[in-house]
Amino acid sequence: MTTNEELKEVVKLCRDVYVKKAEDYGASWRIMRPTTVTDQIYIKANRIRTLQTTGTSAVGEGILPEFIGIVNYGIMGLIQLKYGAAEKVDMDAKKVTALYDEYIQKCLDLLSKKNQDYDEVWRSMRISSYVDLILMKIARTKSIEDHNGKTLISEGIDANYMDMINYSLFGLIKLHCEGQE
């Protein structure tokens, strides 16, 4: 499979979960502030690291669903950055799915450009490195959030969310398409 075919396959996995949860719960996540979304991503990334370190799961869920969660929470974070947290659910499943498609495409466009510049070096990286990079991006995001979104020279919260999404997509390709652990 080509990289684009692999990306299409893992994005479909993520989107399917997102759409089903939007049908089950609606856009209940719209009440979360972006800082809460960042913390949710932290929980997912930290859980992956714990699973990698211990090799055991008390609840029987593996790493793949956690990467899917990071992708989906990252998209929610991008949406929250643009629209702000709502006081109550203010979008239906159709609207948040359209927004998902818009933002995942922006992430894929960025990934494509970086992949071209870096010559698919991610394929030589370990899945554990993606997790460490995501955790670093979370730490950066929290620092930017603590400074009310202001940076002197660095990229903003949105760029960090996009990078977290893209590292997760790399992890998903290695786990789902290549069968690596």
Percent of the chain exceeding pLDDT 90 equals 91
* Distance, CA of 88 to CA of 170 (rounded, Å): 34
C-alpha neighbours within 13 Å on the C-beta side of residue 39: 7
Question: Is the Cα dihedral 102, 107, 112, 113 positive or negative?
Answer: positive
7 — pLDDT class (breaks 50, 70, 90): very high
Contact 63, 50 (CB under 8 A): no
Percent of the chain exceeding pLDDT 70 equals 99
Tokens representing 136 are 């670093």
Contact 4, 82 (CB under 8 A): no
Chain-centroid distance, C-alpha 177:
18
* Distance, CA of 91 to CA of 27 (rounded, Å): 6
pLDDT surpasses 70 at 137: yes
Average pLDDT, the chain: 95
Q: Please give the pLDDT value at position 181.
A: 65
Contact 45, 138 (CB under 8 A): yes
pLDDT digit string, tens, across residues 37-93: 999 999 999 999 999 999 887 877 899 999 999 999 999 999 999 999 999 999 999
